[in-house]
Structure 1
Amino acid sequence: MNDFHSVGPTTDFPDPSSQLVEVDEIAVVLIHAAGHFYALDDVCTHDGGPLSDGDLCVEEATPTIACPRHGAQFALADGAAVTMPATKATQAHEVKVEGGQVYVRLCDSHANTRK
């Protein structure tokens, strides 16, 4: 049940960009930045804001996405909370690109939250 799910062709995700996608009924922000794809839960752990509405900061040593509500930043690579007011990471998911398609596999912690 922990399979990769296609979220669209690579051409749908310009570099840099972030876009809300649904993976097995879970809201995920898919990010394409500096030639890499990342997937994070679309939720700020500080107050539940939608990360997909936030700004990308890809020119720093640790590329991040910021919550549009209070500016908390999360590392693209692993979802770690980089700045306050967030202190807890958001969940990161595995991404692969094959045959011009982008695929996301949800982390194991979501296995019990799927309907």
Structure 2
Amino acid sequence: MTTNWIDAAAEGDVPPDDVIGVAVAGRDIALYGVEGQVFATDNLCTHGHARLCDGFLEGHEIECPLHQGRFDVRSGQPTCAPITEAVRCYPVKIEAGRVWLALD
């Protein structure tokens, strides 16, 4: 199976230790800069329907701005209440200064 990589952003647009929201192929995606790496998840919290890019990133955890639940941006798994359902993560590769996502 061939992976379809989609150009999501310039690597320089993803700030270190912060998160941005981007539209990629009609999807709302959050891109996180953590320890020199870029991670990607859906941008909508699975609990309160808030945009994660409006939350607070601390290490590998993004805190939802609505009810302060958190997700691990590497796996999408919830790390504290009230969140119980994981957020979808996407594979990321950096090539030629661009952030590419596999949304399949």
Q: Which structure shows the higher strand fraction?
A: 2
TM-score band w.r.t. shorter chain: over 0.9
For the pair 1:35 / 2:36, whether they are aligned, the reply is yes
Using the size of structure 2 for normalisation, the TM-score is 0.92
How many angstroms apart in 2 are the aligned matches of 1:13 and 1:44?
A: 20
Counterpart check, 1:47 vs 2:41: no
Structure 1 segments of 4+ aligned residues over 6 angstroms from their partners: none
Q: Secondary structure at the match of 1:82?
A: strand
Q: Cα deviations across residues 72-111 of structure 1 (Å, max 9, x unaligned)?
A: 10001011011110100000001100011111111x4xxx
The residue type paired with residue 51 of structure 1 is L
Relative to the length of structure 1, the TM-score reads 0.84
Unaligned runs of 5+ in 1: 109-115
> What is the rounded CA distance, in whole Å, between the counterparts of 2:31 and 2:82 in structure 1?
23
Show structure 2 runs of 5+ residues with no match.
none
What percentage of aligned pairs have identical amino acids? 30
Residue 78 of structure 2 aligns to a residue whose secondary structure is coil
